[in-house]
Amino acid sequence: RITILPHGSLRILNASKSDEGRYLCQGVNVFGSAEIIASVSVKEPTRIELTPKKIELTVGESIVLSCKALHDSTLDVTFYWTLNGQPIDFEKEGGHFESIKAQASSADLMIRNILLMHAGRYGCRVQTAADTVSDETELLVRGPPGPPGVVIVEEITDTTATLSWSPGADNHSPISLYNLQARSPFSLGWQTVKTVPDLISGDMESAMAVELNPWVEYEFRVVATNKIGTGDPSAPSRVIRTNEAVPKTPPANVSGRSGRRHELVIAWEPVSEEFQSGEGFGYIVAFRPNGTRGWKEKMVTSSDASKFIYRDESVPPLTPFEVKVGVYNNKGDGPFSPIVVICSAEGEPTAAPIDVKATSLSVSEILVAWKHIKESLGRPQGFEVDYWKDMQQEEAAEKVKTEGNESSILLTGLEGNTLYHLTVRAYNAAGYGPPSTAVHAATKKSPPSQAPGNIMWIQDGSHVSLGWEPVRPLANESDVMGYKVLFRQEGQSNSQVIETQKTSAVVLLPDVGVYIIEVCAVSEGGDGTASPQIRVPSFSGGKVTSAQSTLHVLSTSSSSVTLLLALMVPSTSW
């Protein structure tokens, strides 16, 4: 049990407490001797237990691994965790791992929200100053299947494609079924397609996609499912195009449209390229007068066409026709749409508006009103008003349109003191009707450019008496019809207005503060130039007597003095 080795070392097997003590090693030769002393302590061996021993979990679940150590009480222990032999880096694992040490002789490993990548051998290593021991447990993680292998398109027809693939990892839960998906330039991403068989079991590695559209490019992919869930899809197959076929989808919403007289306008929704089924796609437009036998057919070779116009001078307005629109391509003729009855064009309006009146409202506005004869052919969608100045030709007329059944319009932005000529005519999608007889209206003259002058005022408490010289308009300006006194409290934008036909007015200032007062002339052409602003304070309470009143003038003239004296004598009227 105890052996001295050739190089002088001492080996003790199956050490026990009785082997503890001080050991002396002495070396001797002809020159003398040397010795060393070694102290030996014998400790209890460390043992550990890692539980549970084998675990099977599903993706998303959590688990706690517990590692307990039985060791010599005089020794400190350190715990280390590994996964597949590599130390676990708790800071880089995205919060999935947490080391928990509740007691000195045990440690736990918390694994949260387990992923497939967390499967493997988990090890717990316990180290002391005397020895190192370790233990392992196996963690198996069940999850949705992995992506199937490469998808191969083996056979293609006009509406089917036969596919095969290799199974992917089942991730410890058998694959129960497969799902085929397809994508085309016309689909919103990947869509599940119908297959033969309807349900593709987990042990199958091929199936047929059916009810595809002819002459359309497709990609395919396969998705596997097990009890845990549905896995990631396979990589897409190569792009294939189904074979051509006779088209099966006729145009939708065949209807009539407005047109010119003697026209039959047939419209439809174009068939999407997805349903054209091959090259050389076009339309067959068939029509006949209602109640007749033979169909007239016209070919429309553009796949994007949405309208066909048939013109025949012998066709009266609003003649009913039976109409249907079919499809064709290089493979043959497809079906027709259901028969609908539409009428030939009503044509452009035939009657001119009557009772046209033009009324001048201001220097820049004329109101135009009219009536329409409802019995006329060519129902109007609106009206157009043409207007031009007296010295211009009608060809230079400006135009403005109304919509619907409106019977008047206000022309704005016109020149002042100008004679205008105006006509009105109805219009619809087929064109314009005849114009009305021209009417005439002159815009008002411009408002007076002169502002009221020599303004004087006297304040009596909250009352302000104003007077001013009359405005005399120029020859090309509108006559004065009266005056406006505008007043507002300083700091506000909205003014109060007093209208008068005299050259004087009394203003009541309702609140305390400073008021801004202006005066302007009123005419047919609008408001004239305003006078310079007057700033008047309003006093709170009490009354300012005549002796205390303050006289104000904006200019000094004989007429101003006369008005001022009248203000000073209460018994004298304005």
In a domain, 560, yes or no: no
Distance CA 574, CA 566 (A): 7
pLDDT beyond 60 at 521:
yes
Q: Could you give the number of structural domains in the chain? A: 6
**Which residue's entry shows tokens 């198996």?**
140
Find the mean pLDDT for residues 401-412.
Answer: 92
In a domain, 567, yes or no: no
In a domain, 209, yes or no: yes
pLDDT beyond 80 at 542:
no
pLDDT beyond 90 at 487:
yes
**Extended strands (E) in 167-318:** 175-183, 191-192, 195-196, 200-201, 206-209, 217-226, 240-241, 252-256, 263-269, 282-289, 296-300, 307-311
Q: DSSP string covering 469-493, please?
A: PPP---TTBPPEEEEEEEEEETT--
Distance CA 270, CA 388 (A): 44
Distance CA 3, CA 181 (A): 77
**Which one has a higher pLDDT value, 221 or 560?**
221
Q: What is the pLDDT of residue 551?
A: 58
Q: What is the pLDDT of residue 258?
A: 78
Distance CA 55, CA 122 (A): 11
381 secondary structure, DSSP code: S
pLDDT beyond 70 at 543:
no
Find the mean pLDDT for residues 19-24.
Answer: 92
Distance CA 182, CA 194 (A): 10
pLDDT beyond 90 at 386:
yes
| Residue that terminates a domain, selected from 112, 142, 172 | 142
120: region left, alpha or beta (phi > 0 left; psi from -120 to 50 alpha): left
Same domain, 323 and 401: no
Q: What is the pLDDT of residue 475?
A: 86
| Residue that terminates a domain, selected from 410, 443, 476 | 443
Same domain, 199 and 262: no
Same domain, 414 and 396: yes
Same domain, 272 and 231: no
In a domain, 544, yes or no: no
**Interacting residues of 261 by C-beta distance below 8 A, sequence separation 6+:** 317, 345, 346, 347, 348, 378, 430
Do 528 and 482 touch, CB atoms closer than 8 A?
A: no
In a domain, 482, yes or no: yes
Structure tokens at 193: 């397609």
| Least confidently predicted of 293-297, 377-381, 412-416 | 377-381
Amino acid found at 470: P
Q: For the chain, what is the mean pLDDT?
A: 89
| DSSP-derived pairing of the beta strands 106-111 and 120-127 | unpaired
Same domain, 6 and 26: yes
**Residues spanned by the domain of 76:** 47-142
Q: What is the pLDDT of residue 156?
A: 96
Same domain, 262 and 339: yes
Q: What is the pLDDT of residue 566?
A: 36
Q: What is the pLDDT of residue 302?
A: 96
Same domain, 419 and 458: no
Same domain, 62 and 122: yes
In a domain, 565, yes or no: no
In a domain, 570, yes or no: no
Same domain, 519 and 473: yes
Question: Three-state SS for 116?
Answer: helix
pLDDT bucket at 550, cuts 50 / 70 / 90: low
| Residue that terminates a domain, selected from 142, 171, 202 | 142
Instruction: Classify residue 334 as exposed, middle or buried by CB count within 10 Å of its CB (0-12, 13-18, 19+).
Output: buried
Same domain, 435 and 498: no
pLDDT beyond 50 at 570:
no
Taking the model in full, what pTM does it have?
0.60
Structure tokens at 271: 């068939």
CATH number of the structural domain spanning residue 418: 2.60.40.10
pLDDT bucket at 569, cuts 50 / 70 / 90: very low
In a domain, 546, yes or no: no
Q: What is the pLDDT of residue 47?
A: 92
Model pLDDT for residues 58-78, shown as the tens digit of each residue: 999 999 999 999 888 888 899
